[in-house]
Amino acid sequence: MKKTSYLLLSLVLVLTLFPTTIFAYNDKVEDLSEDGLNTYLINAGYPQDVIDILEFEQKISFYTQQAVYTSHKTTEGHLSEKSESITNLDVSARAINNFTQTLVMSQVRTNTSGLAQALVTYNWEWDYIPLFTMTDKWGIAWTDDWDPLPTTARYSYRAIAESSPGVVSASSSTGNISGYDAFLPGSGIGFAVNLIAGFTQNGIFYSTTKHKGWSEIRIQKAHNGSGTLDSSSGVANYFHKQG
């Protein structure tokens, strides 16, 4: 019998939408090191825990889109193939957490008058060796007063091999992929990746011990840039197929 394990992450966001003139970063991205990108993110208001989970490619994306931090939420839980859903655990049980997911909302620059745009980013990491490495999916939805821009959707998956906990021997990535698995106007967008149990690099086979991925998409709505508060809500779901 096939089962699907899942985790639901709900996030209520309060956005302060500013005129686009607040975005003023002039260095060419190719001239910046990761330290330089981190400095940009700090100046743009991103907390250190968000910076720490972003992949290098995401940091480049945030910089080139001149993103400014708005809000985020991280949830930790335990996901194994013996359970039908992920159990969200409190701090006292953190030692057995093996799944982390983070939803981040940023305001990004737009040159179109009367529009505000936001970047919705989702990161997940699963520190587990599943028996079933098939197609896993995740989806993101938001309130329908924001219109998605499907052509801006991107995602990535990375399989990681560790020689011991936290010591990475090798990794294999899909790279940045433009597109999505499913899109329903007014509801949300879904992404899909094929988990891999192992990979070969330089003639050496590595078994995957950790899986991680991310996605992003821009959403937009009409706004006069007055700096008034505007609220929205977002929901993310991760689905693991087993059996």
Report the phi/psi class of residue 186: left, alpha or beta, with left for phi > 0 and alpha for psi in -120 to 50: left
Q: Could you tell me which of 67, 75, 118 has the C-alpha nearest to residue 94? A: 75
Residue type for position 69 = Y
3-state secondary structure of 59: helix
Six token digits for residue 154: 């991107």
In a domain, 29, yes or no: no
What residue numbers bound the domain in which 136 lies?
A: 3-17+74-242
- H helix intervals, the chain: 34-43, 48-53, 56-64
pLDDT value of residue 17: 58
Say how far apart CA 176 and CA 155 lie, in whole Å.
6
Number of domains in the chain: 1
How many CB atoms are located within 10 Å of the residue 184 CB? Answer: 11
Q: Could you tell me which of 223, 22, 24 has the C-alpha nearest to residue 116? A: 223
pLDDT value of residue 126: 94
Give residues with Cβ within 8 angstroms of 151, minimum separation 6.
none
In a domain, 55, yes or no: no
In a domain, 102, yes or no: yes
3-state secondary structure of 18: coil
DSSP 135-188: EEEEEEEE-TTSEEEEEEEEEEEEEEEEEETTEEEEEEE---EE--SEEETTTE
- Note the residue count of the chain: 243
In a domain, 220, yes or no: yes
pLDDT value of residue 78: 83
In a domain, 60, yes or no: no
pLDDT value of residue 25: 58
pLDDT value of residue 3: 62
Q: Could you tell me which of 211, 182, 170, 200 has the C-alpha nearest to residue 79? A: 211
Q: What is the helix (H) or strand (E) element at residue 76, kind and residue range?
A: strand 68-78
In a domain, 229, yes or no: yes
pLDDT value of residue 63: 93
- Residues facing 235 on adjacent strands: 10, 141
In a domain, 24, yes or no: no
* Cα Rg, the chain, nearest whole Å: 18
pLDDT tens, position by position, 140-188:
987 767 888 999 999 999 999 999 988 999 999 999 999 999 988 767 8
In a domain, 154, yes or no: yes
Could you read off the pLDDT tens digit of each residue along the chain, which spans 243 residues?
A: 456 666 565 655 555 555 544 444 556 777 788 999 999 999 999 999 999 999 999 999 999 999 999 889 998 888 877 655 554 444 444 447 899 999 998 988 887 777 888 899 999 999 999 888 989 999 998 776 788 899 999 999 999 999 998 899 999 999 999 999 998 876 789 999 999 999 999 999 999 999 999 999 998 888 766 656 666 677 888 888 876
pLDDT value of residue 21: 41
